[in-house]
Structure 1
């Protein structure tokens, strides 16, 4: 999959995404829902690095929001996963 990367930085960025996706799978999460939640809520934690733990695939919040075996997730008005603080 790395054949089409033009730079080492691009390959490293893809490796990070692939690692997150595989870790989400191992924690029985929907990869799509997990990545959507991370991309939506990561900017909220820029100045709170200790809060990033909530966005890890093994956190209770991510398991509740993005679990594969649940039929519905808690969503905001836009249909995005909602994290309550």
Structure 2
């Protein structure tokens, strides 16, 4: 059953009109599927990211970004299904 989202996505990827569009779709798909794999509600997780990331001081610091990964403590507390 884990292959199903990929199969559905594959049909939708035909409509990516550019390499940038395809990359953006892949990033969103990856975020959603990783959230699901870690027991998070994907909608809640994306909302959490959109609320918190704009206030993040340093996007290039991996330690800063690590706290927003789906398996980190805060997202697990805030976005669990």
TM interval, short-chain normalised: 0.7 to 0.9
Runs of 4+ in 1 over 6 A off after TM superposition: none
Task: Compute the RMSD of aligned alpha carbons.
Answer: 1.2
Work out which of the residue numbers 31, 34, 51 in structure 2 matches 1:23. 34
Work out which of the residue numbers 34, 40, 45 in structure 1 matches 2:51. 40
CA distance in 1, matches of 2:58, 2:76: 24
Q: CA deviation at 1:47?
A: 2.0
Q: Report SS of the residue matched to 2:14.
A: helix
Q: TM-score scaled by structure 2? A: 0.77
CA distance in 2, matches of 1:66, 1:8: 31
Does residue 20 of structure 2 align to residue 5 of structure 1? no
Structure with more of its chain in helix, by fraction: 2
Q: Which runs of 5+ in 1 are unaligned?
A: 69-85
Work out which of the residue numbers 41, 58, 61 in structure 1 matches 2:71. 58
Q: Which runs of 5+ in 2 are unaligned?
A: 1-11
Q: What is the number of equivalent residue pairs in this alignment?
A: 68
